[in-house]
Amino acid sequence: MSEIDVLRQIEQNSTSTQRDIAKNTGLSLGMVNILLKRLVKKGLIKMERLTPRKIKYILTPEGIKRLTTVTYSYIVSSINYLNRLEGVINEVIERYEGKNIMLYGKKDEVFSVLKSKLDHHGTEYMVLNNLEEIHKILNKNQDGNRVVITWNPECCEELEKKNIQYFCLLDKL
C-alpha cells in the first residue's frame, strides 16, 4: 500500500518534496525515493524538473486509473463489511431478545452502527465505560439474564482476564 500512499500524496500536491511525502506517509526518505523511481518505471507518475532542485510529480492517466481502482475496491470492501456487520447485529438482537444488553467498548464507528440498530429495533441496552460497572451489575443480578457485547479486541482481552462472559461481534465477521 506504500505506493498508493505516495500516489495519494502526489494527487493532493504535485509539488510535494520527497521529504513532504515521507512526512505525510510515515515512510522513510529512502523508501519514498525508491517508490518514486518504481512508480515512474511503472508509468504511474512522471517527474518534471521545475528548477535544478525542485521536481514536480504528475500522475499519469495510468496512475489515476490505479488510484481510482484501489479506491473503488476499498469502498466495495467497506460496504461489504458494513453489510456483514449489520447481519451479525441483527442475529445478536434476535439471539439476546429479552436479555439486558450491556455494551462495552470504544465509541467508534462499529459502536455507532450497533447503537443505531439497537435503537431502530427498540432494544434496551446500557453503555458501560469500565469493568467495575460491569462487575457491579453482574454481581447484583446473577439471574443470567444479562449479556455483555463488545467489538474491540482490547476489550475482549480485558473481559477474558476478568472471567466475564461476553459476546464479541468481531468473532462473527
pLDDT computed for residue 142 by the predictor: 67
Task: List C-alpha distances in Å: 123 to 97, 102, 114, 164.
Answer: 8, 11, 11, 22
Question: How many other CB atoms are found less than 10 A from the CB of residue 55?
Answer: 16
pTM of the model: 0.73
Tens digit of pLDDT at every position of the chain (173 positions): 799 999 999 999 988 999 999 999 999 999 999 999 999 999 999 999 988 888 999 999 999 999 999 999 999 999 999 999 999 999 999 999 888 899 999 999 999 999 999 999 999 999 998 888 888 888 776 666 889 999 999 999 999 998 888 999 988 88
Give all domains of the chain, ordered by start, each with its CATH number: 2-59 (1.10.10.10), 86-172 (3.40.640.10)
